[in-house]
Chains A and B, each alone.
Chain A
Amino acid sequence: MKWRCTTSVERTRLVLWLALVGLIVFIPQRAHAYAGPGAGFAVLSSFWTLFVAFLYSVYAFFVWPFRQLFRVLRRRKAYGKAQIKRAVILGFDGMDPELTERFIAEGRLPNLAKLREQGTFRKLRTTFPAISPVAWSTFLTGVNPGKHNIYDFLARDLSNYLPYLSSAEIKGPKRSLKIGKYTVPLGGPRIKGMRRGTPFWHWLGEAGIFCSVIRVPVTFPPEKFPGVLLSGMCVPDLKGSQGTFCLCTTRASGDKFREGGVRVPIERVGSIFRSYVPGPEDPLTPGSGDELRVNFEIHPAKDQARFIVDSQRFTLKVGEYSEWIPVKFKAGVGFSAHGICRFYLKELSPEVEVYVTPVNIDPGRPDLPISHPVTYSIYLAKLFGPYATLGLAEDTWALNEHVLDDDAFLAQCYANHDDRERMLFDALEKTQQGLCACVFDTTDRVQHMFWRYLDEDHPAARDVPRDQRPTVIQDLYVRMDELIGRVMKQIDDRTLLMIVSDHGFKSFARCVNLNAWLHQNGYLALKPGKTESGDWFDDVDWSRTRAYTMGLNGLYLNVKGREREGIVEPGGDADGLKDELRRKLDGLVDSASGRVGITGVFDCDAVYAGPYVDNAPDLIVGYGDGFRASWDSVMGKVTSEIFEDNLKAWSGDHCIDPRLVPGVLFCNRKIADEKPAIVDVAPTVLKLFGLALPRYLDGKPWSVGTSVAPSVAPATTP
């Protein structure tokens, strides 16, 4: 008889002994296997991870030469004629050239100052109109709006004069099964991108140049191309809206929020409070208005409260945000929607109020595609944790409605911004060759909401003494400059660094209700007895209306045969009406301030060219510095006043005369062109990578210096 391992009994015992030995000598696999399921899972999953990783790496090693060979054979050898190894494009939505110059002159932006000094700084001509989705669509396609079909956030439905989102259309599943009062969807939602044109990274990817594209606006739904992309502006929330926050409150109020939010009651049950987060429509009862909900409890204790949301438990102090909390909206067996949201405890006494962000699509379990490939959003979520996926992630509506205060809004903005920075630096690391493009929205949102403190006499901040006004926008620019400095440390001489913004910024102190002007001047008629309309032209008499406006800058004629109840004959009559409106509106003066409210009205037939011009407004209205379309006018409402003060926190804007709000262009190389435009970015990058330019592009490539100034290195903040 052997005394070691002779029988299976002996082997079993040896295993037991090895379990302990393994523990002692820090080779825990065997020990784990016999220390219960927890450790067993750990060992098994670790082994599996390593095994899969090994397979992938072997696969990548062996396949890579063949892929390269394949490229060469198809004459797609990347970088063959490239002047640069890598292009890094940082988009700062709304970064204003005048403010930038001012802060540079004050010595607050050392990195941008260095780029200006040793590379290039220019004002970047924007699009007509100067609206982010329009300008960024032009940026990424290199064509004018007549070719990419985006003219505003909203477009109008010719059959009913109602708006719809211009960038994407989301419909229910193609097929469904009706069972009694329930409708069982057979398949996922259908998403159709409305933006036309081809993003320039598509051409780069096809040529074998890797691209990482992060949060560039109007990239939802994500299009396939050889690279990675995370969609930006225009990604909806889980309700399908562009962001609907929720205020849970014990305060009784029948008021509805004008924009972007819902009020939900909190019920007191003994010592605890109960409420819910409203979610998407119940897919089993479409059209019924039934919504899915996630219930939560609040257990208050002094100045803090414990929250229970599904199986999640967390504690918040008053004035504190939670992390992103995953929420699962269930609709019967097998149907659920996964979202994430953050809770903000506004008040605990005497009333209880909790703000909940719009429910974002969970990037780790996306129910709608928000990246290409789909795994890219999951990859980022696993690497950095959950992050905001909503296109307009910074909740400007909540600040406008006084649901959030300045500090809470800023905290939200910069939390999102920090996530974006992490994504950028990961993309920089992963893209040592190719294109890395990332757009930051913080600049736009913060300027929109805090311009009132910058303006001498903004109506929304008249009660705040000048010496007590926070330097939010100045701080914002300093922070962006620091970010640019950190990026400059990551790049080498063969990397092109370009900093662009889609437009600048101006004060929005006075509102212009163009529908009111059209009404008062006989172009728009209301039903008998009405002096004002409701939203979306409720009470407008279309049979006597020749022109109307909705959205931010578009003015439409009510053309016969085009609009459902059009009365203006196309051709000569329409052209004559356009001329008449241009003549009367151009130079329109605000009698209260004595300033010009409209500095230009542009005929779309003259400023656009392309197959989608028919979808454009008939005229683009260019508001003057300090003016913008009124909140009511944007929503198709006719009021009695044409001009009025803007009292909202949303106090800066750019949806004005595009000539007044150019963007910025900084580059670490010399650019000879004196008047660059945002439409030129795409052809310039394609040319720098040595690619032939598609003929349909409207932009012209710039003359870019062949080498970077050696001293363009990051500066330190004074």
Chain B
Amino acid sequence: MDSLGVNVPAFIVVGISIVVGLLMVVVFRYTSDQRAIHVAKDHLKAHLLALRLFQDQIPVVLRSYGRILLATGRYLRLAFMPLLFVIVPLTFLIVQLDRYLGMTPIEAGHSFLVSARVADAAALTEASLQLPDGLVTTAPAVHISAENEIVWRVISARDGDYVVNVQASAQTFSKRVVVGSGLPRLSPLRLRGRFRERFFHSAEPALPENTLIEAIAVQYPARNIAFAGFEWNWIWLFFVLSLVAGFLFKSILGIEI
């Protein structure tokens, strides 16, 4: 909620879902074989009805079931083509939205974990955490040798956009930490290499190659959005609302899905 008591994340998700719902069905309309989808869906329904109409005849029931599987495959194949057109931009959009809506900043006065993974377990003893003003550790570092990991518990007394540094073998690696509220862009991980993981998890530059530190993570709490009496992870809410919006728009625009 913002200062006016408005559930801003919910409004954003609703708005984006409606826009995406509209865009997606329009894209679906122009990138799919509408007639073939219509026929495939009709065949599915026909074979379903055949199960009921000819239920006393087991061979017919078996054949119909086989045809249902085939028709389902055909239908999914036809729906797959539009997917090729939307998967990249939509994935990019979702990943970017997740930076804002997937997590909440750390609340002032609440402790959180900062962890670093090193390339070699022997380097665990060399790693240390340097904190800016406003952040303090609340406990000694914990070494998890089996996973080449070192974890610090940190607390912040006030809101702020901080940079913490992990030092190892005379090298220093920074990581952004946001304490406060609102909808800042958050990056829970800073990674070395691994473009795929960075695409999905990180919003910061890659760590340098051939160094001791492989990753630095900050554990932000997941954001739950209150909507319709339930607490939602934003992506499920987006999924449901975009489906509803898509259903409405497909009916209004006469689009076959």
Q: Taking beta carbons and an 8 Å cutoff, which residues of A are in contact with B?
A: 1, 3, 7-9, 12-13, 15-17, 19-20, 23, 28, 31-46, 49-50, 52-54, 56-57, 59-61, 63-64, 67, 210, 228, 311, 373, 375-376, 378-383, 385, 429-430, 432-433
Stretch of B6-14, B38-46, B126-134 contacting A (4+ beta carbons < 8 Å):
B38-46
A374 to chain B, nearest CB (A): 11
Question: Bound complex: CA of A373 vs CA of B52, how far in Å?
Answer: 10
Q: Are B46 and A382 in contact (CB under 8 A)?
A: yes
A37 contacts which chain B residues (CB < 8 A)? 20-21, 24-25, 242-243, 245-247, 250, 257
Interface membership of B183, Cβ < 8 A = no
A53 with B48: in contact, given A16-B200, A382-B42, A432-B59 (CB under 8 Å)?
Answer: yes
B243 lies within 8 A of A23 (CB): no
Cβ–Cβ < 8 Å partners of B239 in chain A: 33-34, 40
Partner of B56, one of A17, A50, A53, A64: A64
Quick one: CB contact mask for B229-250 with A, threshold 8 Å, 1 for yes? 0000101000100110111001
- Are A42 and B68 CB-contacts (below 8 A) given A31-B87, A33-B239, A34-B90? no
User: When the two chains form their complex, are residues B103 and A9 in contact, meaning their CB atoms are under 8 A apart?
Assistant: yes
B19, chain A: closest CB distance, angstroms: 11
Q: Find chain A residues with CB under 8 A from B217 CB.
A: 1, 3
- Which residues on A sit within 8 Å (CB–CB) of B98? 12-13, 16
Contacts A23-B83, A46-B76, A57-B51 given: A9-B220 contact, CB under 8 Å?
yes
Q: Are B90 and A56 in contact (CB under 8 A)?
A: no
CB neighbours (8 Å) of B113 from chain A are 1
> In the assembly, what is the distance between CA of A645 and CA of B167, in Å?
112
Q: Which residue of A lies closest to B78 (CB)?
A: A42
Residues A16 and B94 in contact, CB atoms below 8 Å apart: yes
Give the residues from 147 to 185 in chain B that come closer than 8 angstroms, CB to CB, to chain A. 147, 149, 151
Question: Which 9 residue pairs spanning A and B have beta carbons closest together?
Answer: A37-B246, A36-B24, A38-B28, A42-B79, A382-B46, A383-B46, A56-B51, A379-B49, A8-B222
Alpha-carbon distance between A429 and B76 when the two chains are bound, in angstroms: 27
Cα(A379)–Cα(B48), bound, Å? 9
Q: Once the chains bind, are A67 and B56 in contact (CB under 8 Å)? A: yes
Residues of chain B lying within 8 A (CB to CB) of residue A43: 76, 79
Out of A31, A33, A45, A382, name the residue touching B43 (CB < 8 Å). Answer: A382
A33, chain B: closest CB distance, angstroms:
6
Closest Cβ of chain A to B47, distance in Å, is 7
State whether B219 touches A49 (Cβ < 8 A).
no
Q: Which residue from A41, A42, A376 sits with its C-beta under 8 Å from B247? A: A41
- Which residues in B have their C-beta under 8 angstroms from that of A12? 98, 102, 222, 233, 235
Query: A36 contacts which of B21, B57, B200, B235 (Cβ < 8 Å)?
Result: B21
A residues within 8 A CB of B72? 46, 49-50
Evaluate contact between B222 and A9: CB separation under 8 angstroms. yes
Quick check: is B54 within 8 A (CB to CB) of the other chain?
A: yes
By a CB distance below 8 angstroms, the chain B residues around A67 are 56
Contact B87 A382 (CB under 8 A): no
- Minimum CB–CB distance from A385 to chain B (whole Å) comes to 7
Inter-chain pairs besides A37-B24, A49-B44, 5 sampled, C-beta below 8 Å: A13-B201, A35-B87, A38-B83, A39-B86, A56-B61
Q: Known: A12-B233, A46-B76. Contact between A7 and B51, CB under 8 A?
A: no
Structural contact, B95 and A16, CB atoms closer than 8 A: yes
Is B69 part of the binding interface, using a Cβ–Cβ cutoff of 8 Å? yes
Do residues A28 and B80 form an inter-chain contact, with CB atoms below 8 A?
yes
B26-68 Cβ-contact flags toward A at 8 Å (1 or 0): 0110001000000101111111111111111111111011001
From A16, A32, A56, A385, B52 is in contact (CB under 8 Å) with A56
Docked-complex contact B151 and A1, CB < 8 angstroms: yes
Q: Please, how many residues of chain B have a CB less than 8 angstroms from a CB on the other chain?
A: 78
Query: Which interface residue of B87, B102, B147, B233 has the most chain A CB atoms within 10 A?
Result: B87
A-B contact pairs, 12 of them (CB 8 A): A9-B220, A12-B233, A34-B239, A36-B24, A36-B242, A37-B245, A39-B80, A39-B86, A41-B246, A43-B79, A56-B61, A60-B56
When distances are taken between beta carbons in the complex, the residues of chain B under 8 Å from A53 are 47-48, 51, 64-65, 68
Q: State whether A1 and B53 are in contact (beta carbons under 8 Å apart), knowing that A28-B76, A36-B86, A56-B48 are contacts in the complex.
A: no
Using Cβ atoms and an 8 Å threshold, which residues of chain A touch B245? 37
Q: A16-B95, A46-B76 are in contact. Are A23 and B222 (CB under 8 A)?
A: no
Report the Cα distance A385→B39, complex, angstroms: 8
Structural contact, B80 and A382, CB atoms closer than 8 A = no
Chain A residues with CB under 8 Å of B44's CB are 46, 49
- Choose one: B32, B56, B58; the contact of A210 (CB below 8 Å): B56
Closest B residue to A375 by CB, please name it.
B49
Known contacts A13-B200, A23-B87, A36-B242: A60-B257 contact under CB 8 Å: no
> Chain A residue with minimal CB distance to B61?
A60
Name A40's contact: one of B61, B149, B215, B243 (CB within 8 Å): B243
- Taking the closest CB of chain A, its distance from the CB of B46, in whole angstroms, is 4
Which residue from chain A places its CB closest to the CB of B144 in the assembled complex? A1
Do B42 and A56 touch (CB < 8 A)? no
Structural contact, B53 and A376, CB atoms closer than 8 A: yes
| CB pair B50 A430 closer than 8 Å | yes
Q: How far is the CA of A41 from the CA of B42 in the complex (A)?
A: 15
Contacts of B20 in A (CB 8 A): 36-37
Q: How far is the CA of A373 from the CA of B49 in the complex (A)?
A: 11
Does B193 lie at the interface of the complex (its beta carbon under 8 Å from any beta carbon of A)? Answer: no
Residue numbers in B under 8 Å from A7 (CB-CB)? 219, 222
Given A9-B188, A16-B95, A32-B79: A379 and B243 interface contact (C-beta under 8 Å): no
- In the complex, whether B254 has a CB less than 8 A from a CB of chain A is yes
A1-B115, A9-B188, A19-B91 are known contacts. Are A60 and B246 too (CB-CB below 8 A)?
Answer: no
- Tell me the smallest distance from the CB of B143 to a CB of chain A, in Å: 13
Q: How far is A60 from B53 in the complex, measured between Cα atoms in Å?
A: 11
Query: Would you give the shortest CB distance from B63 to chain A, in whole angstroms?
Result: 8
When the two chains form their complex, are residues A38 and B65 in contact, meaning their CB atoms are under 8 A apart?
no
| CB of A478 to closest CB in B, whole Å | 31
Question: In the complex, which residues of chain A have a beta carbon less than 8 angstroms from the beta carbon of B58?
Answer: 60-61, 64
A523–B135 Cα gap in the complex (Å)?
118
B190 within 8 A of A: no
Is the CB–CB distance between A38 and B82 below 8 Å? yes
Please, what's the 1-or-0 string for B190-228, where 1 marks a CB less than 8 Å from any CB in chain A?
A: 000000100011000000000000010101111000000
- Rounded to whole angstroms, the CA-CA distance of A56 and B68 in the bound complex is 12
CA distance A37 to B21 in the complex (A): 6
Please measure, in the bound complex, the distance between the C-alpha atom of A19 and the C-alpha atom of B95, giving whole angstroms. Answer: 12
**Within 8 Å CB of B43, what residues of A?**
382-383
CB-CB under 8 A from A385, the residues of chain B are 39, 42
Chain B residues, CB < 8 A from A32: 76, 79, 83
Which B residue's beta carbon lies closest to that of A378? B49
Roughly how many angstroms separate A605 CA and B90 CA in the complex, as a whole number?
81
Q: CB-CB < 8 A to B52: which residues of A?
A: 56, 375
**Nearest CB in chain A: distance from B257 CB, A:** 5
Q: How far apart are A319's CB and chain B's nearest CB, in angstroms?
A: 23
- Report B-chain residues with C-beta under 8 Å of the C-beta of A59: 55
Q: Which residues of A contact B28 (CB under 8 A)?
A: 36, 38-39
- A50 proximity list for chain B (CB < 8 A): 68-69, 72
Q: Which residues of A contact B94 (CB under 8 A)?
A: 16, 34
The complex places the Cα of A382 from the Cα of B49 at a distance, in Å, of 9
Residues in A whose Cβ lies below 8 Å from that of B56:
60, 64, 67, 210
In the assembled complex, which residues on chain B have CB atoms less than 8 Å from the CB atom of A9?
102-103, 188, 220-222
Chain A residues whose C-beta falls within 8 Å of the C-beta of B219 in the assembled complex: 1, 7
Return the chain A residue nearest B71 by Cβ: A49
- Name the B residues within 8 Å of A39 (CB-CB): 28, 79-80, 82-83, 86
- Chain B residues with CB under 8 Å of A56's CB are 48, 51-52, 55, 61
User: Which single member of A20, A52, A54, A430 contacts B91 (CB below 8 Å)?
Assistant: A20
Chain A residue nearest to B254 (CB atoms) is: A311
